[in-house]
Amino acid sequence: MKEKPRNQVATNRKASHDYNIGETYEAGLVLTGTEIKSVRAGKINLKDGFAQLRQGELWLENVHISPYEAGNQFNHDPLRNRKLLLHKRELAKLAGIVKDKGVTVVPLKVYLKHGFAKVLIGVATGKHEYDKRETIKRREQNRELQRVLKNNF
């Protein structure tokens, strides 16, 4: 099994199964004090998360960050919406892309960079059921091929 990089906190493995991922962007994540402590501890779930443009700002929704265990009354709401930080031209480009029907923005990874939490977001279009089965079939064929090559050499 592959080990995750040292600074990577969470990945959304379901995103690549459910969506075709196009362009990706690195966005900053606005967090409170107890949220960043929970993120550093790896207590974040991206599974059902998505990003939405509202009034020229990008918001990360439906991402669960568990309350910090030693946080007392200053703890946060686990499912609150969090603002994503992007450059203005990146936001304008995303706004043009997301206008199309069937296109959404999903979080792919959360990682720490120079002490700050960053989110890798991707522009995604939904897969049909037959596309998902094709992806699974291709992955199994590649595994079988790697297994055969490993045994031969």
The CA–CA distances, whole Å, from 69 to 29, 35, 117 equal 21, 11, 19
Domain assignment of residue 148, yes or no? no
pLDDT of amino acid 87: 94
Q: List, for residues 47-68, the tens digit of each pLDDT value.
A: 889 999 999 899 999 999 888 8
pTM given for the model: 0.79
The CA–CA distances, whole Å, from 19 to 2, 9, 90 equal 22, 21, 21
- For the chain, the domain total comes to 1
Domain assignment of residue 138, yes or no? no
Domain assignment of residue 40, yes or no? yes
Range of the domain at 24: 8-126
Residue 147, pLDDT > 80, answer yes
- Three-state secondary structure string covering the chain: CCCCCCCEEEECHHHHHHEEEEEEEEEEECCCHHHHHHHHCCCEECCCCEEEEECCEEEEECCEECCCCCCHHHCCCCCCCEEEECCHHHHHHHHHHHCCCCEEEEEEEEEEECCEEEEEEEEEEECCHHHHHHHHHHHHHHHHHHHHHHHHC
List the CATH number of the domain containing 46: 2.40.280.10
Domain assignment of residue 150, yes or no? no
Domain assignment of residue 122, yes or no? yes
Structure tokens given for 85: 């930080």
Taking the C-alpha atoms of 82, 83, 85 and 91 in order, what is their torsion angle to the nearest 10 degrees? 120
pLDDT of amino acid 4: 58
Per-residue confidence at 6, pLDDT binned at 50, 70, 90?
low
Domain assignment of residue 137, yes or no? no
Domain assignment of residue 153, yes or no? no
Domain assignment of residue 140, yes or no? no
Structure tokens given for 63: 């991402």
Residue 26, pLDDT > 90, answer yes
pLDDT of amino acid 74: 74
Q: List, for residues 72-104, the tens digit of each pLDDT value.
A: 777 878 888 999 999 999 999 998 888 888 888
